[in-house]
Amino acid sequence: MAAAEMKVATSRGALAAAINAANTAGRQANAARKAYHKIAGHYQRAQSEFEDARARVDQIAQASYMGSAFTRINVIIDATGPADMMDRLSMVDQLMRTQQAEVDRLIWTRRAARSAQDQAGLAKRQAEDAEALAQATLLSAKGAQNAAVSAKQALARLVLIRQAALRVANAQRSAVLARYRAAVAEERRIRAALRGWAARSRDGRYDGGQLFMPVRGWKSSDFGERYDPYYRVWQLHAGTDFAAPRGTPIHAAAAGHVIRAGWSDGYGKYTCIDHGRISGVPFETCYGHQSRILVHVGEFVYQGEVIGRVGTTGASTGNHLHFETRFNGVPKNPLRYLPNCLC
């Protein structure tokens, strides 16, 4: 749920950033277009001035080609005196300066036109780039918007699924707790029954040494406090679990008398064997979740004898043997008494 909410928030932030970037890029594109139009106007005016200057220079060149230069010489030759000569020379000089000015103006206007043309081209490229950036940013904003919508829809679906699961869990919770309370009561009965049997038993001291491995499998759960996957509560796991295929033989860990062989609410098909006393305390082993029980109460069994088959009866989530070592009915950690290699 937290991850889904984070995804929605991230998508919204990306959407806001993308929209802001798109707006900025759009403003930049508009500014670039305005700058282009302004510079393009400057270019048009410079080009017009250049065309006008070129026309005037063309006229001068045409006049020179048609004999204007000879006309100027004749004007000087026809002078009537020194003063007239000076006036005529001044007039010719003025005319030549005017013509040179027109040529200089042509050169300047051509440079101005080329510069304006270059600036207009640059402004046009900048406008096009800004426009492309605005379009790309807008597409990114739309993608972020779609992602935000999808994330919000996914979050809504997740909320609905979680609410439905919570309703189912609450509906099942009372039944699960009832089974758990029954299992706790069954554990009390088992301890009381084992203590009662021990009080009546005449079996002597246990002298069997180390226990025989009760099943060929692999350890799947330890003894101790744990979250029970079946009852979904924290409680003491009274034994060690050994996973094995259904039907795998279960062996008596030591010789003794069968004192329990039947159904238990939590342990399913359940067998307990009394092995005598250790330091005056009755010692028992128990075997839970069997698919078959192959012994009966009162029967004497030898160490290693097959007493049942692996299964998943009772409060179990898969095929395994739940193996217990109890002292006067109180469970202790079986790993203290089994071979270190668990073999």
Which residue ranges form the domains of the chain, and what is each CATH number?
2-161 (1.10.287.620), 201-336 (2.70.70.10)
Q: Are 271 and 307 in contact (CB under 8 A)?
A: yes
The residue behind tokens 């492309």 is 132
* The predicted structure's pLDDT at residue 142: 74
Proportion of the chain above pLDDT 90, given as a percent: 32
Phi/psi region, residue 150 (left: phi>0; alpha: psi -120 to 50; beta: rest), is alpha
**For 175-221, how does the pLDDT look when each residue is reduced to its tens digit (9 = 90+)?**
767 777 777 888 888 888 888 887 777 667 887 678 999 999 999 99
Which DSSP symbol is given to 233?
A: S
Proportion of the chain above pLDDT 70, given as a percent: 67
H or E segment to which residue 134 belongs: helix 82-200
Q: Are 186 and 265 in contact (CB under 8 A)?
A: yes
C-alpha–C-alpha distance, residues 230 and 179, integer Å: 10
Q: What is the mean pLDDT of the chain?
A: 79
C-alpha–C-alpha distance, residues 235 and 281, integer Å: 25
CA neighbor of 109 nearest in space, from 120, 101, 98, 119? 101
**Average pLDDT in the 148-174 region?**
77
Tokens for 70, please give them.
């000879």
Q: What burial class does residue 36 get, using C-beta atoms within 10 Å of its C-beta: 0-12 exposed, 13-18 middle, 19+ buried?
A: buried
* The predicted structure's pLDDT at residue 184: 81
C-alpha–C-alpha distance, residues 248 and 217, integer Å: 9
* The predicted structure's pLDDT at residue 226: 78
C-alpha–C-alpha distance, residues 239 and 82, integer Å: 141
| pLDDT above 60 (res 75) | no
**Average pLDDT in the 32-45 region?**
67
Q: Are 271 and 260 in contact (CB under 8 A)?
A: yes
| pLDDT above 90 (res 251) | yes
- The long-range contacts involving 199-207, CB below 8 angstroms and separated by at least 24 positions, are 201/257, 201/259, 201/274, 201/282, 203/256, 203/257, 203/274, 203/275, 203/276, 203/277, 204/276, 204/277, 205/276, 205/277, 205/278, 206/254, 206/275, 206/276, 206/277, 206/278, 206/283, 207/276
* The predicted structure's pLDDT at residue 234: 76
* The predicted structure's pLDDT at residue 80: 66
**For 269-303, how does the pLDDT look when each residue is reduced to its tens digit (9 = 90+)?**
999 999 999 988 999 999 999 999 999 999 999 99
Q: Are 201 and 274 in contact (CB under 8 A)?
A: yes
**For 82-113, how does the pLDDT look when each residue is reduced to its tens digit (9 = 90+)?**
666 666 566 656 666 766 676 676 677 667 66
